[in-house]
Amino acid sequence: MNDRQRAEIVKSLARELGFDLCGIAPAGPIPRGPYLRTWLESGRAGTMGYLHRHVDSRVDVRAWLPAARSVIVCGLNYHQPQPDRPPGGERRGRVAMYAWGDDYHRVMWDKLENLAQALRRRFGASIQWRACVDTSAIVERELAAAAGIGWIGKNTMALNAAIGSYFYLGELLTDLPIASDPPQPDHCGTCTRCLEACPTGAFPRPYEMDASRCISYLTIEHRGDIDGELARQMEDWVFGCDVCQQVCPFNRAPPTGLEPQLAGTADDAYPLLNDIESWNEEAYRLATHDRAQSRAKLAMWRRNAKIAAANLGPED
């Protein structure tokens, strides 16, 4: 069996497990390793000090699995129809779509581990592998672009011409020799809608994000007070932000994801601000347990809800 045949088997198994996208990248240095180091040195990462750790593994995944020869990159569509805001005059915030359902880390981990076991059954139990989902110190979007499942758009997100950008990424590092896929061309063209729509001006130039101004960073990663000017530009977002995705032409009519664990409700998308502001530790744990929303701590949720309430003004 040659490398190309192995690649076809890998992709077939990934589809059987429910992944919407699958591509193969060579295990080695990412193309934009020098840019990543420069970006970190410029302070664009804000207070995310953890990004400065394990830089070597972010540049080259073989720091995690020295024997790795291939990176299997998988994408899982999480797009859902946007629900209407629940009726009534109570003030509600907004939550980014990726965090509506169950914790995607667990969903992706389960699928990747199932894929790894399927590969061992097909190619032998001696295969070495390591699964990575978001929290691992690698640069997933760079790997996605290298694996040909999309390109990096001007908003720095991975884009796929068929399903847009509403998809999670996960990777299997493996010593299995698999034929790599060619990168996709950049289809953004002259479009700058994502850059112009950002409420906080988080894009100093195309293909570069100043994370310290991004609403997702401010609501999820940044602890402590938020600058008053930025707070006023955060609108009613309390966890994450979808603005740069919502305006992207490739997200005009994306397909709906089929994974039931990721489905959310109108209350997930538009939580009541008064409820959040009154949460105690127990209420917070119940609301965020086994969900990506637990990434933001209780004090951050309360802070975000207070900002959103101020931006919305008095209740009807």
Amino acid symbol at 42: S
What one-character DSSP code corresponds to residue 220? I
| Active-site annotation holder among 60, 102, 134, 267 | 134
Question: In sequence order, which residues have a C-beta less than 8 Å from that of residue 172 and are 6 or more positions away?
Answer: 71, 72, 74, 112, 115, 116, 119, 129, 130, 131, 132
CA distances 124 to 42, 121, 176, 291, Å, are: 45, 6, 10, 35
CA separation for the pair 145, 194 (Å, rounded): 19
CA separation for the pair 316, 162 (Å, rounded): 41
Contact yes or no for 76/158 (Cβ under 8 A): no
* 170 three-class SS: strand
**Token code pair at residue 275:** 């409820």
Question: In sequence order, which residues have a C-beta less than 8 Å from that of residue 105 and are 6 or more positions away?
Answer: 133, 134, 135, 292
Q: Is 102 a catalytic residue?
A: no
* 223 three-class SS: coil
**Token code pair at residue 163:** 């399903």
Strand-strand pairing, 94-95 and 158-159: unpaired
Alpha carbon 146 to its chain's center: 17
CA separation for the pair 218, 211 (Å, rounded): 8
Contact yes or no for 10/44 (Cβ under 8 A): no
Nearest one of 229, 17, 218, 241 to 108, comparing CA atoms: 17
Which residues carry out catalysis? 134
